[in-house]
Chains A and B, each alone.
Chain A
Amino acid sequence: MADQDKKSKKGKWGRRAFMITGGVVGGGLVVGVGGMLWVNHKIKQYTGEGMGAGDSLNAWIRIAEDNTITLAVPRSEMGQGVYTSIPMLIAEELEVDVQKVKIVHPQPESPYANTFLLTGQPRNVYKGMTLMEKIASVLPVVGTGGSTTISDGYDTLRAAGATAREALIMAGAQRWGVDKSECYAEDGHIINKTSKEKLTYGSLAADAAQIKVDKIPTLKAQKDFKILGKPVRRLDIPEKVDGTAEFGIDARPEGLLYAAIRHPEYLGGTIGSVQNIEEVEAMTGVKKVVVLKDGQGVAVVADNSWRAKNGALSLEVTEESNGHEGLSTAGVAAKMKSVIANNEMIATPESEGDVASVIASEGNQLIEAEYLVPYLAQATMEPLNCTVHVHEDRADVWVGHQAPSVIRDKVAAITGIDGANVTINMKYLGGGFGRRAEVDFVIKAAEVATVMKGTPIQLSYTREEDMRYGMYRPAVMSKFRAAITPGGDIAAWENKMALQSVGHSSMMRIMPSQAPDPKDDPMSSEGAAHLPYAMGSRKVAFGDLDLPIQVGNWRSVGSSQNGFFTESFIDECAAAAGKDPYVFRKNKLADHPRFVAVLDKVAEISNWSEPAGDNKFRGIALHKSFGSIVAEVAEITKVGEKEFSIDNYYCVIDCGRTVNPDTIEAQMQSGIVYGLSAAMYGQITIENGKIVEGNFPEYEMVRMNVTPHITTHIMEMDEYPTGVGEPGTPPAAPALTNALFAATGERIRELPLVKHGYSFV
């Protein structure tokens, strides 16, 4: 019976939301919204800097007596605008001016779990959590990635705001001795409808903290929004124009020393020994040489980053290649070819009809193509770094990272300090793109700081170490076959791929308990399987590669290659059918009105049906990723033999309801430029077991002079919001290569374009 009691209690708790009392700090109030209460309704101490020593369970909102409103933003700001969009969601229901709120970055506690990362589904705020949501909360998974921040928080954050507002209204009603229906909230005040009296939130906060709200209020309809869906100036921009924004690499705790690192140069290699430790330790400013565990690197600690780097470059190390000295880009490609040729598929995420017999049947046109993309580095502008100060019984960490809950556990494991005593000071991320979800730089900083106990240590990778010690977007081969009917239908579509599993490789490092087997990695085929186009029989399968190369998340992950592959090959199908690429796609989307609407819109804003003009050519691509549908048209001018100017990109996105449209536009511009860098220049190559490219001159990217003018249109929808940070990237490459096909007749099946002699002005 006791168990049953517990269960019913859980259910009850789970369906109710509460103002959490007791968090009155310095005259302030900490409120939170229910949903976590099933786990632990005991009072829990929060360590979040700026949130005070309150004992709330779910802390999002704090209101001080002077009406200062502080909101918790537990997601990482890496340029995608979450330091503004999260406050917007709370402020919409809380009825406060989003430009006036203060934000703090709390510790990675359970209430801040990103359940969407694990479930791919938004939480229902009016119901208890599902099993997976509970797992995400208990672990907890506090992270930023997969373009999930808005999808995860769209309802829960608004509910947090609404619940707090309701309590403030009730406190106001109590104060005036009127029914709460006589009061409403507006711009940080509770207003008495009859007497027109006004009370600030701050003056009511302490009373509101004592009130239980037993039901989450109904959230506003889209038509009633004051903040959401309208362009809002980003809260982080003022400090990003005067040099005061602090990134991880800008942490300067008292007594800081700097560490540089030398990694093994061989992929899968290890450092055996260091010959000249004493000599390096005698160099100017050098304090210590630290050999890391398992031969994974040697760090040089000094009083200045440059001196540390010089020390690291002076190290004489012996290195074991561990048998990988023969590894090369060509060898990897040969391996992929063999996996596909021998049909060594480990998974078939999509199979419908009998593809082989349709392809063999007469009357249809058979087309085949083999595509290949290289390894890619994320190349965040801020090189990877982490600062750790190990004290006797606690540790402080300063870092820009996408997964604070994960690194807290890693630092605890390395230092032997209880995770509860590890403080993560989250700084701005100078780019993330998936690389800052990795833990290597944090673990290494913690190792060095443990040796240097008592002294804060900032470990930074030089650009060369950052690029060569990569967790790369994998190289991928994709082999297509399609049967086109005389009428221009796709009767059969087959796609066999060969690649290393990003999910397996990255999660084995980040959170091994959650690492999928390569055959179960949904990211391998995301954007390749279950395409919206009508295509008769279909088969999408992939094979694995066993290589000593670490692969990881790279903006848009599987869709980064699959968008290029599928949108190029569908263009090939259109050409084989003798159809216009836009019309061909549209005719195969009968059951997908949202895709059609996006495609039609991009055709409209790019004047697709009009001639492009002399020496001008267009290419189109359509791809859904992270829940959002994006179509892009590239407009290019031929200025010489294989020399092109990329004049315009037209971009249309359907991401459901919008939060900050200006941020969405910025993310489309960003995603396109990121995709173009990869399409035009990006390749990490391997020779004799080592990575060739080490810095920007060898790993070039789009700069001002080749950037197209980008026109973005956001579809007005009343659907649950989906991702924005990544979906702009996948269509960028195929839109360009499809335009190049229109211009030259040459079908680009391997990236980057510079490999084929193309240049851009």
Chain B
Amino acid sequence: MAELKINGKSINVDVEGGMPLLWVLRDELDMTGTKYGCGVSSCGACTVMIDGVATKSCTFPVASAAGKEITTIEGIAKQGQLTAVQRAWIEHQVPQCGYCQSGMIMAAEALLDQNPEPTDMDIDESMTNICRCGTYQRVRQAIHSAAKLRANEAELLG
């Protein structure tokens, strides 16, 4: 039995401690926004945030996630208001097939949390997710736009 805190809610799950968080989310909790791509921490489709750090959930044992703040794609929009990253993703029409985009967006959120004004090189270094549709150019543009949106919002909030 593990007590998980997912998107601000406490949830008890009764599974083997070694089960990767990804499969707890997808198959035990039916939270299917987080995707399976490789199972070996290579592609990033399963990226979630654990205590604010972009983490590949396909190899992250659920036992290690207990007591930590887990944020998934379903939990980033607040009161129905899309985040700056999500809005930038729409603005730049980033997704194609869309399967990798939950992970891409989570990685971008985590990047901007750590680094509000990433350079192209910063983006190259931290955005290592695979997109088989090749949306990288628009992902890059959207991250730059989201950085500006976030900065403007911070200014408005004073």
Contact = CB atoms under 8 A, between A and B. Distances in A.
- A and B bind: yes
Interface of A: 77-81, 233-234, 236-238, 240-247, 249-250, 252, 258, 284, 303-307, 309, 379-383, 428-433, 460, 462-463, 662, 666, 669-674, 695-697, 701-705, 707, 709-710
B140 interface: yes
A695 B42 contact: yes
Contacts of B130: 381, 696, 701, 703
19 contacts: A78-B97, A79-B97, A80-B96, A233-B93, A238-B90, A242-B33, A242-B77, A306-B20, A306-B23, A307-B19, A381-B131, A381-B133, A432-B97, A433-B132, A669-B135, A673-B133, A703-B128, A704-B123, A710-B137
Nearest to B143: A704
A79 B96 contact: yes
Per CB-CB distance, the 6 closest pairs between chain A and chain B, nearest first, are A243-B33, A673-B134, A430-B99, A79-B96, A79-B97, A240-B98
A383 B73 contact: no
B135 A242 contact: no
B134 A705 contact: no
A662 B137 CA distance: 14
B86 A242 contact: yes
A426 B48 CA distance: 27
Interface of B: 15-16, 19-20, 23, 26-28, 30-40, 42-43, 45, 72-74, 77, 82, 86, 89-90, 93-102, 105, 123-125, 127-140
Chain B facing A: main interface SS: loop
Contacts of B134: 669-674, 702, 707
A611 to B, nearest CB: 25
A382 B74 CA distance: 19
B122 to A, nearest CB: 11
A430 B27 contact: no
A284 B23 CA distance: 14
Nearest to A302: B27
Given A379-B132, A382-B99, A710-B137, 18 more contacts: A234-B93, A234-B95, A236-B95, A236-B98, A237-B90, A237-B93, A241-B105, A252-B30, A305-B36, A382-B97, A428-B97, A460-B36, A666-B135, A670-B133, A695-B42, A702-B134, A704-B123, A704-B139
Nearest to B72: A243
A704 B133 contact: no
B35 A704 contact: no
B136 A703 contact: yes
Contact of A431 (B93, B133, B140): B133
B38 A670 contact: no
Contacts of A77: 97
B31 to A, nearest CB: 8
A520 B156 CA distance: 67
Contacts of B101: 240-241
Contacts of B127: 703-704
B37 A429 contact: no
B99 A463 contact: no
B136 A383 contact: no
Contact of A304 (B27, B37, B82, B132): B27
Nearest to A432: B97
A80 B98 CA distance: 11
A381 B123 contact: no
Nearest to A234: B93
A697 B42 contact: yes
A702 B132 CA distance: 8
A307 B24 CA distance: 11
Nearest to A462: B39
B37 A243 contact: no
Contacts of A246: 32
B40 A381 contact: no
A701 B33 contact: no
Given A381-B45, A666-B96, A284 B16 contact: yes
B104 to A, nearest CB: 9
A704 B27 contact: no
A240 B32 contact: no
A381 B82 contact: no
Contact of B35 (A303, A304, A430, A705): A430
A685 to B, nearest CB: 19
B6 to A, nearest CB: 13
A157 B30 CA distance: 37
Q: Name the residue in A303, A306, A669 with the highest tally of chain B Cβ atoms < 10 Å from its Cβ.
A: A306
Contacts of B33: 242-244
Given A241-B90, A304-B28, A380 B138 contact: no
B42 A669 contact: no
A242 B27 CA distance: 19
B96 A463 contact: no
Contacts of B28: 304
Contacts of A696: 37-38, 40, 42-43, 130
Nearest to B39: A463
A309 B40 CA distance: 14
A707 B132 contact: no
B90 A233 contact: yes
Nearest to B16: A284
Nearest to A674: B134
Given A249-B36, A463-B39, A707-B134, A304 B123 contact: no
B124 A704 contact: yes
Contacts of B27: 258, 303-306
A245 B98 contact: yes
A577 to B, nearest CB: 35
Contacts of A380: 97, 99, 132
Nearest to B136: A707
B138 A666 contact: yes
B18 to A, nearest CB: 9
A704 B39 contact: no
Nearest to B96: A79
A666 B82 CA distance: 23
A735 to B, nearest CB: 15
A463 B37 contact: yes
A234 B35 CA distance: 22
A506 B109 CA distance: 42
B138 A381 contact: no
A696 B43 CA distance: 7
A715 to B, nearest CB: 21
A615 B130 CA distance: 29
Given A704-B124, A704-B136, A695 B40 contact: yes
Q: Name the residue in A79, A80, A81, A702 with the highest tally of chain B Cβ atoms < 10 Å from its Cβ.
A: A79
Given A234-B93, A247-B99, A381-B45, A669 B137 contact: yes
A429 B95 CA distance: 13
B95 A382 contact: no
A707 B90 contact: no
A306 B89 CA distance: 31
Nearest to B91: A233
B32 A252 contact: yes
A669 B138 contact: yes
Nearest to B75: A243
Contacts of A430: 35, 97-99
Contact of B97 (A241, A242, A381, A709): A381
Contacts of A662: 93
B84 to A, nearest CB: 12
A431 B74 CA distance: 22
Contacts of B38: 463, 695-696
A428 B94 CA distance: 16
A430 B15 CA distance: 28
A462 to B, nearest CB: 6
Contacts of B36: 249, 305, 383, 460
B71 to A, nearest CB: 12
A705 B124 contact: yes
Nearest to A243: B33
A761 to B, nearest CB: 9
Contacts of A309: 39
A245 B101 CA distance: 10
Contacts of B137: 669, 707, 709-710
